[in-house]
Every structure is written in C-alpha cells, then in structure tokens.
Copies of this chain bind each other. A is one copy, B any other.
Amino acid sequence: MNSDNFPFEIEGKDGKARAGVFHTPHGSFQTPIFAPVGTQATVKSLTPVQVEEAGATLILANTYHLFLRPGDDLIAEMGGLHRFMDWQKPILTDSGGFQVFSLDGMRKIDEDGVTFKSYIDGSVHRFTPEISVAVQQNLGADIMMAFDECANPKDYEYNIQSMDRTHRWLQRCIDAKTNDKQALFGIVQGGIFPDLRTKSAEFVSSFDLPGFAIGGLSVGETKEEMNAVLDIVPEILPENKPRYLMGVGSPEDLINGILRGVDIFDCVLPTRLARHGSAMSFTGRINLNNQQYARDPRPIVEGCDCYTCQHFSRGYIRHLLISKEMLSGTLISIHNIHTLEELVRQSRRAILSGTFSRYAEDFLTAYGSN
C-alpha cells in the first residue's frame, strides 16, 4: 500500500493555499475542490449530467447509507457505484463511521469496532475497520476513508482514548485493503485540542498514504475553534499530498480552509439549503420563499452563468417553492453547487496568479453583507 497510483501535483502556492491536481482511475480533478454529496448514490434531485454541468468533478457517497440500502454487495454486482449511479468522474466514500457514531443510544463501541442499529428498520449491524474497507471496496469509489470515530470535539479525556483507537484502526484499514485501484486516506482526529491534533497529525502522517483528511470539525465547535485546528494540522501533514476537510461547505469555511492549506471539501449544505429554498451567493444566503421575491424578474444572482440563473427568475423559483414543486430543489441545487464550484475555481486562479490572500480578504469582507 502506497500512494504511487494516486499522484498529486502542486501547480502553485500562495501563502499556505495550494492549487493542485489529483489523479484517479476515473480521471483527474483540480484543487481546491468542492464535492457535492450523493448520500444514497444520488445528489438529491439532480441527474449526473446536471451535477456535472453545475461544475462538480468529484462527489461523495455515504458508506453507511449504501451498506444498509441497497447493500454494497448489490452495488458491486451491478458494476460498482460509478456504473450504478452513472457518475463517471471520481467518487469518494466516507467510512461510515461518522453516521454510525452519530446514532446516540443506537450504537455500542468497543476496541474492535462498533455495533449499531439501522435507521431504516432497527436491525443490528456491525462495522469494524475491516468491514468498512470491504464495504468501500465493494462500492468501488476512487477514494476510500479510514474507519474513524468522530468524537464530541470538546471532551478532552474521551478524545484521547478515541483518537488512539482511531489510530489503531488506521493500521487495520491499511492491512485490510486488497486493491490498488482505490486510494485510502487517513483521518486526523483530536477534537478542538491543539496537543491532540498535533499528535494525531504526526501519527497519521507517518503512513505513506495518497491523501489525508481532517475529521471531527464542523460538528458543534465555533468557527474560531475550527480555524485554530486548521492553523495547526495542515502544516504537519505531508506537503505533497492532498488535504481533505470533511463535511465542510459554507462559502466562508471554504475560503478559511483554503487559506490554511486545505485542498478538498465536501458538504450536503448546497443541496440541503436548496430543498428549503435557500440560495447561496458570494455575499450570503437568499431565502427565496420570501414574499419580496414574488414579482422579482432577476435571476438568483445577477451575472451568474449557471443554468438556473441563465433561464429562471426569482419570481418563478419562489412560485415553485410556494407550490411545493420538486423543480425548486433541482434549480436551487444547480445554482448552489455552481456557486461553490465557482468559488473554488476563482480561488484556484487567484492562487496561481499570487493574488489569493487579497481575494480571500475581499471575499470574507463582502460575505454576509447582503
């Protein structure tokens, strides 16, 4: 197991921010990158063509959900996740750990793994590092994640034991992996505690892995606490490997992450907000349910070149929302994903031209102003 099959090239740096290219069996993607989430093997309300047209080149799918339904064995039998959902670009699967450990009162952790109940029918299942890797190998994503525990970020004593166990599980994931077509990323844990984050980053970095993730953030801590962790961890991780901040996806979090050396992001935010009628922009969110947009002939964002903004008015989208028409979620999802992809594309150009710190400063000043 090493990282030779998944090269990462850094094409430019600006401060800590990096512009790179990561290569996978399903093609390359440029970084910084934002991955929309296709929890159940579908980015909600969008066809793969629409996801691609919105600018996405990497998507995430959830191992926990797909293990329970339709089952990773079924997906393997159907030719793997790419073929099953007709997404031919790179896919990343999480380990299932985050969802399992979120099931308060429905799971039991031991040294070997975790026993949990299905959210669908209450049936009992078990994940271990070995099972998580086997399930992810059945799914066939280009990037797999090591099985980790995402602990309460503010409980110091618990984070010590949880982190150490996650470190032991990393070695077991590496040992369990049986193919070279899928990259396995390690995950740094340690809550909001600088000493634990440092220890975890150093430990995980000691493995020759094709990429490294920062887990356990955006789970209840403050923005300042998150940024403090991001001030520490990326500098410890290997320079020549991509860094993935898991589950993070607001525009300001993306900019703050890129400023600190993060390359990959994922989040349900753009599609979840869309289903509730909230559109993203570079200056804040727009609640399209509001009466004030009923007769507004403007696009969600003037000058935006997404399909939605090129063809539909705020007034029309508000009508769809008020009428509970499914097309509202589709159209706003397209816009929201496009907005985050445009943000990482602009960031990349700014990094390559050495103007990113100014770009980020201007962005963070404007964000929230509308």
Contact = CB atoms under 8 A, between A and B. Distances in A.
Nearest to A53: B49
A319 interface: yes
B74 A294 contact: yes
A167 interface: no
Contacts of A50: 47
A239 interface: no
Interface in A65-110: 69-70, 74, 77-79, 84-86
A44 interface: yes
A322 B46 CA distance: 17
A313 interface: yes
Contact of A326 (B49, B315, B326): B326
A250 interface: no
B327 A69 contact: no
A79 B327 contact: no
A123 interface: no
A248 interface: no
Contacts of A74: 294-295, 315
Given A294-B70, A312-B86, A319 B44 contact: no
Contact of A315 (B48, B78, B327): B78
Given A74-B295, A295-B74, A44 B327 contact: yes
B325 A42 contact: yes
A319 B86 contact: no
Contacts of A79: 297
A40 interface: yes
Interface in A19-61: 40-42, 44-50
Interface residues of A, number: 39
Interface in A315-329: 315-316, 318-320, 322-323, 325-327, 329
A319 B40 contact: yes
A323 to B, nearest CB: 5
Given A294-B70, A312-B86, A44 B331 contact: no
B47 A313 contact: no
Given A70-B294, A84-B316, A326 B47 contact: no
Contact of A327 (B42, B318, B322, B325): B42
A358 interface: no
A78 B47 contact: no
Contacts of A330: 45, 47, 326, 330
Contact of A319 (B48, B70, B320, B322): B70
A326 B42 CA distance: 9
B323 A40 contact: yes
A45 to B, nearest CB: 4
A325 B275 CA distance: 12
A325 B70 CA distance: 13
Given A49-B307, A78-B316, 6 more contacts: A40-B319, A41-B319, A45-B330, A48-B311, A77-B295, A85-B316
30 contacts: A40-B320, A40-B325, A41-B316, A41-B319, A42-B320, A42-B325, A42-B327, A44-B325, A44-B326, A45-B327, A47-B50, A47-B307, A47-B330, A47-B331, A49-B307, A69-B319, A69-B322, A69-B323, A70-B294, A70-B318, A74-B315, A78-B295, A78-B313, A78-B315, A79-B297, A84-B315, A84-B319, A86-B311, A326-B329, A330-B330
